[in-house]
Structure 1
């Protein structure tokens, strides 16, 4: 008996492409018994929803634009409610080829991964054409996530992905602006298996511009904030420990300078201020470490609560 697959597409004013993307989704995939298509209409003002329905997709509509992260949350909740065994996300703007879905699904069906993602940069021969600043930004974001996760990833921002039911049930995300990088950290910290699948992807949209990455600086700030919040929540002692180390280092330097000055001159003048500064930095470092200890305690409780939430979701019951 095969598995059920939900193909979810976030969409905002994509009437020019959404129908073609839906039509191109493979209906026969090895190991998959049924394929359902969901379009999350994020407050479109054009005929996106109508065209999606005409092409056989279920449509979940937001009354107003809430962001691609919120659209993913809605798709995830829908898939869990429908008891989907696998959830594939793919953009409705035509950048991704739905023909690549079987390649994404295969490792999950085979039990080799809980989460797979299309990778634009893992295979040098498949790197798409895109502005240099965008390519640089994607690679810097991948290096940052790789460093924080302790793994090597080539592309953490691609939206074409496949989630096993276990991965979907384990996800607890907070970012509404975007979600792609947060997913990596969330699943890595929960020790789920991640596989990158090199696939050919169009570097830029055929119509319009990305609502997420249209302002690259805003995108960088928003995603960095989401990433560091995730890291803070899952590794509070390490996060606050580095901050404390950054405070202790100048404190020790100032203290050493003042002590050396005293040995030479037998007086603290005119550098008494360095002693007060060093003491202030050390006190602040201790306070930061205490925040890390409290965060570590809360993190243990969060792990227990997330495990309970996972089991409730798996049983098909919403948390009370």
Structure 2
């Protein structure tokens, strides 16, 4: 059997939810019952420790529910949804918030590039089309702009919105995506998929700028959001591109050492004495030793990153073929009696 033979596409709509009883039923009811190119549609609500009627409402609306039992974070909620998408063997997965900020009818638009084989990952964008920019506080717009510039610079592809929670993942993206962040997943997804060389697109979409009920649990405190998101970005650089971190730090330390050392030698040659700036020689020696240490740590980090790359390739192969190991072997293939 050809593992890559064409077959009817299956779609999973993933909806992380935390106390969304006020909006959840309406969002599920608005999900279209059919899409061009899709043979099967499933709806999954990942309950991240709700204390209201979210779970009961989701089940009554016809969605399958996976409950964490306690609040683990939206990053973990998405990882749960992605794991279920892999278990079900779906070809396309859409992540959409349960609070009604995104129009479920737009799922029909966001899946098109993936269904037609033009992209592996598509994200909705609130800022790509100036006519569709939603109403939101200026500080949030500035924060979104700054985060988009950081991520775009790291991955080498320009995006206007890297924090939107309405996204579509193709089969290859589902197989390749390995996320670790608990707090959020939005920026980390771009970094990981770019590192894997997958095709990513941005699609302008009309989005409600503020929640109809309650407030955002992710971006309600902008300082905390920025701090924790930058921590996720730093962790990605450390794990996947340690040379970017360690080599730059080594260079900075070496240049500082050279500066202090040059001053120390200049003072000795012009004054004929080491004092009173003998301290510069000690500082130069310390910084040079520290540069060597950081460079050595960087080499170890690069070796670990290579091992990680090999392990993720093995994980990809397991994800890709293991769910279908029960398929009958092709004619002539050796098999056990």
TM-score w.r.t. the length of structure 1 is 0.97
| Distance in 2, Cα, partners of 1:305 & 1:218 | 32
How well do the aligned residues superpose, as a CA RMSD in angstroms? 1.2
Q: How does 1:60-99 map to 2 (within 5 A)?
A: 60-99=66-105
Q: Which of the residues 11, 30, 33 maps onto 1:5?
A: 11
Q: Does 1:248 align with 2:262?
A: no
| Aligned-residue offset at 1:239 | 1.4
Distance 1:283 1:317, change over 3 A: farther
Q: Does 1:124 align with 2:130?
A: yes
Q: Which residue of 1 aligns with 2:334?
A: none
| Distance in 2, Cα, partners of 1:300 & 1:211 | 36
Does the residue aligned with 1:315 lie in a helix, a strand or coil?
helix
Which range is displaced more, 244-253 or 267-276?
244-253
| Distance in 2, Cα, partners of 1:249 & 1:124 | 44
Q: Does 1:55 align with 2:61?
A: yes
| Distance in 1, Cα, partners of 2:209 & 2:248 | 37
Q: Which residue of 2 aligns with 1:180?
A: 186
Q: Which residue of 1 aligns with 2:220?
A: 214
| Distance in 1, Cα, partners of 2:85 & 2:39 | 16
Quick check: 1:107–1:113 contact (8 Å CA) kept in 2? yes
Which range is displaced more, 260-269 or 101-110?
260-269
Q: Which residue of 1 aligns with 2:330?
A: none
| Distance in 2, Cα, partners of 1:151 & 1:251 | 35
| Aligned-residue offset at 1:50 | 0.8
Q: For residues 45-75 of structure 1, what are the alpha-carbon distances to aligned partners after superposition, in whole Å with 9 as ceiling and x for unaligned?
A: 1111111111111111111111100100110
Q: Does 1:32 align with 2:38?
A: yes
Quick check: 1:105–1:116 contact (8 Å CA) kept in 2? yes
Does the residue aligned with 2:322 lie in a helix, a strand or coil?
coil
Q: Does 1:298 align with 2:304?
A: yes
Q: Does 1:155 align with 2:161?
A: yes
Q: Does 1:114 align with 2:120?
A: yes
| Distance in 2, Cα, partners of 1:4 & 1:34 | 5
Quick check: 2:87–2:323 contact (8 Å CA) kept in 1? no
TM-score w.r.t. the length of structure 2 is 0.92
Q: Which of the residues 29, 32, 42 maps onto 2:48?
A: 42
| Aligned-residue offset at 1:40 | 0.5
Q: For residues 165-216 of structure 1, what are the alpha-carbon distances to aligned partners after superposition, in whole Å with 9 as ceiling and x for unaligned?
A: 2111111111011111001000001100000011011111010111111111
Does the residue aligned with 1:91 lie in a helix, a strand or coil?
coil
Q: Structure 2 regions of 5+ residues with no counterpart?
A: 1-6, 325-337
Quick check: 1:182–1:226 contact (8 Å CA) kept in 2? yes
Q: Which residue of 2 aligns with 1:20?
A: 26
Q: Which residue of 2 aligns with 1:261?
A: 267
| Aligned-residue offset at 1:317 | 5.4
Quick check: 2:74–2:182 contact (8 Å CA) kept in 1? yes
Q: Which of the residues 192, 195, 215 maps onto 1:189?
A: 195
Q: Which residue of 1 aligns with 2:208?
A: 202
Quick check: 1:148–1:231 contact (8 Å CA) kept in 2? no
